[in-house]
């Protein structure tokens, strides 16, 4: 199977080689089929594709009292309720799976088993990003990723090649989504970026930079060049994209004062300040997520939206004017983690109505009890 795909890719490569400075090595072509042993993620026969995003689950709070474990029981109930009624094609866990500050060295990643249990039971493919609470004295992103890969057969979470992502930021990768499982090329790429944050092991006293590392910018340029060479340019092939990163890009902070509750509906209860967006925990880090943000918007074509969690009191979507790209917050899903009166817990649903990237996406917030709100269509006219 790998050999067949490689030779198909090599054939099409000849046609597009002129556009590249150097030929793409065979090994890189194989890397364009990153899941040879897993089912392909595909659109439904009717051309739709539904993603449900769980964010900020914050498992493992206060294991020493009754309150903490009850929050995880509530979060697991929410996951099972939502999965059975929404029946998504793919699930994203968009960071802060675990409140790492409260974990113990000897069993911290066993919380991953609890988190993925509802997904394993429902046999729904999924993948994760990781957040600032997932890097703490007794836990790290890489430990959570390895555990998830081991205990969840339908986990599509991967790690970036070595040297990409910076220390404590290994969770950067992409997943191809095909219109039909037999297609040669994907029609949608889901991108996942590791915005790091939190603290280094083992003492947990050194802060980890809270932005997507510079090395990811070059990786985005390289990966999109490989995709274009093997599959044809995204624009010509109608290949769409959607990106997930736990901490919102810094530029989102500047937009909050311009929100209009008609165009940008949803809870807007978290005022963005220090620590709310990338590269803001420490004033000296201002601008450090720019290389990532520039590369994402320059090289990833047909990017429908960028989706983040982290700020539990926000649910809105908005168009970011400098890059002309749509940004959306998730919905705080976990019963752990900070909350406010009336915020509730739920998910963001995202529905592609067609594999054609010129068609917009429908997205809305769904609360555990089934209430829906903040429904918008993300298309060229969305503001
Ligand atoms: C990390 O785990 C060890 C061993 O269980 C525990 O003694 C320690 O308090 C934990 N550290 C933190 C910061 O929670
Ligand atoms: C981890 O171990 C601690 C201390 O022994 C215990 O209180 C806690 O419930 C355990 N957590 C998990 C997730 O197994
Ligand atoms: C992509 O489309 C553009 C505009 O239609 C065209 O000029 C270009 O030759 C196409 N490239 C390939 C590789 O098909
Ligand atoms: C908010 O957006 C709506 C819909 O686009 C528009 O009609 C309204 O004028 C806007 N309000 C403000 C204060 O800009």
pLDDT digits (tens, 9 = 90+) for 295-312: 999 999 999 999 999 999
Summarize pLDDT for 45-102 with one digit per residue, the tens: 999 999 999 999 999 999 999 999 999 999 999 999 999 999 999 999 999 999 999 9
Sign of the dihedral defined by the CA atoms of residues 274, 276, 277, 281, in that order: positive
Which atom, in ligand 1's list, is nearest to the CA of 101?
14
Enumerate helices (H) and strands (E) in the chain, giving the number of each: 8, 13
Cis bond before residue 202 (omega within 30° of 0): yes
Structure confidence at residue 232 (pLDDT): 95
Computed on alpha carbons and rounded to an integer, the radius of gyration of the chain in Å comes to 20
Quick check: is 289 in a domain? yes
Q: How far is the CA of 98 from the centre of ligand 1 (A)?
A: 15
Ligand nearest to the CA of 319: 4
Host domain of residue 32: 26-378
Domains contained in the chain, number: 1
Quick check: is 10 in a domain? no
pLDDT mean across residues, the chain: 93
Summarize pLDDT for 188-221 with one digit per residue, the tens: 999 999 999 999 977 778 899 999 999 999 999 9
Quick check: is 84 in a domain? yes
pTM of the model: 0.93
Instruction: Tell the residue nearest (CA) to atom 10 of ligand 1.
Output: 104
Can you say whether residue 294 is alpha, beta or left, with left for phi > 0 and alpha for psi between -120 and 50 degrees?
Answer: alpha
Tell me the percentage of the chain whose pLDDT exceeds 70: 92
Q: How far is the CA of 31 from the centre of ligand 2 (A)?
A: 39
Quick check: is 15 in a domain? no
- From CA 325, how far away is CA 129, in angstroms rounded? 20
Quick check: is 1 in a domain? no
Q: Is 204 in the pocket of ligand 3 (CB under 6 A)?
A: no
Q: How far is CA 20 from CA 13, 135, 225, 239, 240, in A?
A: 10, 38, 8, 19, 22
The beta strands (E) that lie in 180-277 are given as: 188-193, 240-245
CATH number for position 289: 3.60.21.10
pLDDT tops 70 at residue 8: no
Structure confidence at residue 205 (pLDDT): 84
Q: Is 233 in the pocket of ligand 3 (CB under 6 A)?
A: yes
The beta strands (E) that lie in the chain are given as: 41-42, 49-54, 90-94, 126-129, 173-178, 188-193, 240-245, 303-308, 317-320, 325-329, 346-352, 361-367, 372-378
């Amino acid at each position: 199977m790998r050999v067949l795909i490689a030779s198909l890719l090599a054939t099409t490569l000849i046609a597009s080689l002129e556009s590249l400075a150097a030929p793409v090595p065979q090994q890189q072509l194989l890397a364009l089929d990153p899941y040879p042993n897993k089912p392909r993620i595909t659109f439904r026969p009717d051309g739709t594709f539904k993603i449900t995003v769980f964010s900020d689950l914050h498992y493992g709070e206060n294991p020493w009292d009754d309150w903490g474990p009850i929050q995880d029981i509530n979060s697991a109930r929410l996951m099972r309720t939502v999965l059975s009624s929404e029946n998504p094609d793919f699930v994203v866990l968009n960071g802060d799976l675990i409140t790492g500050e409260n974990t113990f060295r000897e069993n911290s990643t066993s919380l991953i088993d609890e988190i993925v249990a509802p997904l394993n039971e429902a046999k729904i493919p999924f993948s994760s990003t990781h957040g600032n609470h997932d890097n703490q004295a007794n836990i790290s992103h890489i430990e959570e990723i390895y555990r998830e890969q081991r205990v969840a057969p339908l986990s599509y979470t991967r790690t970036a090649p070595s040297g990409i992502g910076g220390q404590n930021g290994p969770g950067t990768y992409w997943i191809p989504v095909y219109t039909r499982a037999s297609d040669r090329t994907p029609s949608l790429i889901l991108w996942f970026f590791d915005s790091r944050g939190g603290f280094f092991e083992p003492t947990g006293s050194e802060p980890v930079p809270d932005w997507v590392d510079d090395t990811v910018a070059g990786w985005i340029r390289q990966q999109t060049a490989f995709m274009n060479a093997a599959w044809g340019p995204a624009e010509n092939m109608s290949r769409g994209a959607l990106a997930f990163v736990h901490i919102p890009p810094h530029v989102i902070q500047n937009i909050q004062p311009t929100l209009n509750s008609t165009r940008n509906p949803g809870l807007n209860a978290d005022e963005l300040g220090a620590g709310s967006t990338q590269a803001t925990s420490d004033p000296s880090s201002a601008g450090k997520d720019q290389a990532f943000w520039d590369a994402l918007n320059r090289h990833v074509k047909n990017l429908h939206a960028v989706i983040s969690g982290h700020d539990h009191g926000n649910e809105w979507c908005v168009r970011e004017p400098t890059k002309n790209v749509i940004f959306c917050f998730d919905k705080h899903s976990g019963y752990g983690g900070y909350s406010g009166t009336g915020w509730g817990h739920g998910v963001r649903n995202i529905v592609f109505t067609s594999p054609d990237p010129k068609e917009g996406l429908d997205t809305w917030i769904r609360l555990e009890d089934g209430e829906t709100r903040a429904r918008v269509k993300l298309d060229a006219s969305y503001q």
